[in-house]
């Protein structure tokens, strides 16, 4: 059973898009929204973004929290990794937001680990185009074989 949080008349997809817009407004880069509704019992969506330095990461994460609160009156159930870390996670129940330092993002490669997940198109300046992030099945399988199930080398 998926963990869900009741939102004030906003769907999990709408919540994810609000978070994506907030990340884009704060100049996050390489923003990707993965639809996990058919693949995971943990959450419905992963929002993944990069921030080039600790100050930008803090601004992106704070901007997401502020915008989601303003638009949906929802606070994260948990916030992991703050104050200068290289990966911050915001857990909204059906949405999990990952904001990475680019090197850490490349190391964990969540987009490849969840390579079967459909990408939700985002019309944002900082969003990756679908053709930029959609690995072929062979690439996704090769990455899984090389890196193992946790995406570690």
Model confidence over 28-44: pLDDT tens digits? Answer: 999 999 999 999 999 99
User: Higher-confidence residue: 77 or 151?
Assistant: 77
- What are the residue ranges of helices labelled H in the chain? 12-25, 54-72, 102-108, 110-113, 130-133, 137-147
Cα(112)–Cα(25) distance, integer angstroms: 26
Q: Tell me the per-residue pLDDT of 91-121, one tens digit each, with 9 for 90 and over.
A: 999 999 999 999 999 999 999 999 999 999 9
What pTM does this model have? 0.79
């Amino acid at each position: 059973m998926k963990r869900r949080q009741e939102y004030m008349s906003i769907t999990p997809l709408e919540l994810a898009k609000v978070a994506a817009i907030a990340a884009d407004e704060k100049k996050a880069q390489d923003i990707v929204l993965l639809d996990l509704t058919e693949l995971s019992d943990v959450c419905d969506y992963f929002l993944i973004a990069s921030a080039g330095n600790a100050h930008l990461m803090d601004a992106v994460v704070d901007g997401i929290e502020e915008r989601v609160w303003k638009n949906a009156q929802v606070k994260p159930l948990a916030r992991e990794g703050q104050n200068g870390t290289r990966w911050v996670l915001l857990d909204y129940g059906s949405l999990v937001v990952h904001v990475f330092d680019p090197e850490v993002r490349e190391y964990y490669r969540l987009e490849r680990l969840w390579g079967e997940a459909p990408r939700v198109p985002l019309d944002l300046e900082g969003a990756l185009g679908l053709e930029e992030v959609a690995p072929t099945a062979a690439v996704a399988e090769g990455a899984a074989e090389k890196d193992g199930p946790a995406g570690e080398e």
